[in-house]
Structure 1
Amino acid sequence: MTTPMSDEKLAQLFDQIPCLAGRPRVIQELSGGLTNRNVRVTTPAGDYVARCANPGAEKLGIDRQAEHANSVAAHRAGVGAPVIDFRPDLGVLVIGFLDGKTFGIPDFSVPGNLARVAASCRALHRGPRFVNDFNMFARQRQYLETATRAGYRIPSGYGGLAERFHEVGRALAILDEGTVPCNNDLLAGNFVDDGEQVWIIDYEYSGNNDACFELGDIWAESALSLDQLDELVTSYYGRPRTSKVARARLLGAVGQYGWTLWGAIQNVVSPLDFDFWEWTLEHFDVAARELRGADLPRLLTDVATPD
């Protein structure tokens, strides 16, 4: 396991990036960032966010070139921060600082916020195509191969849900409507509210994907209620859609099943002082609850029934 990036190393990197090299320079640590060290950098010219990659990204399927290109596309769509500089040789992406409130889970319960989140997702999805695709079924296979080959610990019972996971995939394929540009990692902290609009940040896992993966990921990552999922999907599509609620819920479970392996890999390779095993178990519990749940047969029918 490698060690986290030091403050001294960070300063050395920033001295090589024109927009960050100015003095005086104030650096403020930002929350989140399980595969990056994210800092706000205040200079005489303005405020920026530097996303500094931690090692091990290749095991997680992160493509920094795609992250940069898709961040530019998200800004063009009107929901992403401006991209200021990209230094792949240094592992640093610099974006403009968005002055606003970072969402927490309770913010989804504020009246009107789910509709605002849905509007931002629609804007992203209608924006320029991303340069790559993201499919959790393919990503899960890659993660499983990585974890199995290296002998990483996986939650007990994980393999026993594989057939239901693939059964969900077969049902989703029946009414597949193609892909749109998606962030694919929409936990609460990746939304920033400036009082006028909700911005979407962090495009590490971005790629063209099923729109309902995005909605289901929001639901699953923030433990929203089923009523909130219904409101989110209805706001996104402009009317109640039973098939889309089912699709989002199933893809939420698919995401949790795949992200479980992400956590198992991070539990070994990440340099951060973070309980990735607990994170892994939490995501597996959600996946297991959904894939073993009494609602699954109905959801499989609903997702294959046009409305």
Structure 2
Amino acid sequence: MTRRDLVMNFISLFNGLKHAMTVTIGGPPMNPTTPAPAGPTVSCDATIDPARRAAVEQALARLTPELGLARAVWSATEIPGGAANANFRVTTGDQRFVLRIADPNGARFGMDRGCGFAAHRAAADLLIAPPLRAAVAPDGHCLTDLVDGRSASAADLADDALLAEVGRLLARLHSSPVRIGRWSVIDATLSYVDIARSEGLTVADDTPLLIEALERTRGVFAGLPAGEVLCHNDLVPQNLIIGPEGVTLVDWEYGGMAYGDFDLGNLAMNADLSDGQVDHLMRSYLGRPATDAELARVRLMALVAALREYFWAVVADPVLNYDIEHHGVDYLGWGHRHLLKARAVVDSPELDRLLRAAAAS
């Protein structure tokens, strides 16, 4: 995709904001037919290109009126990272927020924006996520409080104390009584396979074997008594913010009801946790040593997480590959690394062992 294509993509996306309904936490929805109010004054960092500058201005014009900030003077700086979104630190006076501008391809990736916002609000009530101040549905653009701190890395999670804190945080999240929409990682992954095939995208030759592993895992979890709980569903280390008051979870686009083991397995896979580290994470999560069956379920979900990342990358590359220029992201390379992780389990006796162990009571 050329830079001109990118510019046109953003212009088209934010023209659509004229007809989006704005939902503001603590306030009534805006009338979707009401014209956008006079825009705020925005001063952007010099590194923000004209298309993104226009996107920031239009998003703030839609998100800020109910906060009493429609005519505020803002400064904006882009925050590196993000795949199906662009993130900006925006400030006015002493108020600091993160503005998320979502990519229009959310449905392609299996996102339910409304469900993600509901998960975010529930997590914020638990002091696990930053407050969600305003959101545009169904586009996915939102404004949250800025969290002081830095994104975690896989190396950070080698620290036993931090890993234990994350385990306790996930236990709190999964204990929430909130019930919202469901999000299935296996359904989403299989939808990526369908998209790839329908668009003639190249997938691994052993895709039928990988799909079989997904379906066998689905069968095991369907037979377990444990139900679905409130989950984040996108636990890469970068979505953990390490701050002075502890760990905060951000980026709730995939949030919804799911198996808690997926959050644990997803983190284990993305952070390359060793068996000993998974055991430590689970001990903190459960408040006791994990059984062999519980550990096997987490490892199975780590396999599912790797397959999700691989097939996600296949369908992301045609629509997000401009980020190779903008952020240096190589989606197909990212996907291939996760494919190798998945094959290490699928092509070995380990898969059968995990399936048997996970099915045990």
Tell me which amino acid in the other structure corresponds to 1:181.
L
Q: Distance in 1 between matches of 2:82 and 2:253?
A: 10
Shift of 1:57: 1.5
Q: Distance in 2 between matches of 1:275 and 1:21?
A: 38
What residue is the counterpart of 1:125 in the other structure? 174
What residue is the counterpart of 2:20 in the other structure? none
Pick aligned residue for 2:294 from 244, 254, 257:
244
Give the conservation status (yes or no) of the 8 Å contact 1:76–1:128.
Answer: no
Shift of 1:90: 6.3
Q: Distance in 2 between matches of 1:69 and 1:119?
A: 22
Residues 189-238 of structure 1, C-alpha deviation per residue, up to 9 Å, x if partnerless? 11112233211111111111111111000000111111111111121111
> 1:88-103 alignment to 2 at 5 Å?
88=137, 91-103=140-152
Q: Distance in 2 between matches of 1:118 and 1:89?
A: 32
Give the conservation status (yes or no) of the 8 Å contact 1:129–1:208.
Answer: no
Identity among equivalent positions (%) equals 27
Do residues 228 (structure 1) and 277 (structure 2) align?
Answer: yes
Give the conservation status (yes or no) of the 8 Å contact 1:120–1:200.
Answer: no
Q: Which runs of 5+ in 1 are unaligned?
A: none
Tell me which amino acid in the other structure corresponds to 2:323.
L
> 1:1-307 alignment to 2 at 5 Å?
3=6, 5=10, 6=51, 7-18=53-64, 19=67, 21=70, 23-88=72-137, 91-241=140-290, 242-270=292-320, 271-273=322-324, 274-306=329-361
Give the conservation status (yes or no) of the 8 Å contact 1:69–1:130.
Answer: no
Tell me which amino acid in the other structure corresponds to 1:10.
V
Tell me which amino acid in the other structure corresponds to 1:281.
H
Q: Which runs of 5+ in 2 are unaligned?
A: 11-50
Tell me which amino acid in the other structure corresponds to 2:346.
L
Q: Distance in 2 between matches of 1:90 and 1:161?
A: 32
Q: Secondary structure at the match of 1:253?
A: helix
Q: 1:182 to 1:43 in 2, by over 3 A?
A: same
Give the conservation status (yes or no) of the 8 Å contact 1:82–1:95.
Answer: yes
Give the conservation status (yes or no) of the 8 Å contact 1:181–1:206.
Answer: yes
Q: Distance in 1 between matches of 2:58 and 2:359?
A: 54
Q: 1:294 to 1:50 in 2, by over 3 A?
A: same
Shift of 1:239: 1.5
Shift of 1:289: 1.1
Aligned residues: 306
Larger CA deviation: 187-196 vs 21-30: 21-30
Give the conservation status (yes or no) of the 8 Å contact 1:13–1:90.
Answer: no
Give the conservation status (yes or no) of the 8 Å contact 1:76–1:127.
Answer: no
What residue is the counterpart of 2:38 in the other structure? none
Tell me which amino acid in the other structure corresponds to 1:293.
S
Q: Distance in 2 between matches of 1:83 and 1:43?
A: 17
Larger CA deviation: 191-200 vs 160-169: 160-169
Tell me which amino acid in the other structure corresponds to 1:213.
F
Q: So what's the TM-score if we normalise by structure 1?
A: 0.93
Give RMSD over aligned pairs.
1.9
Bigger Rg over Cα: 2
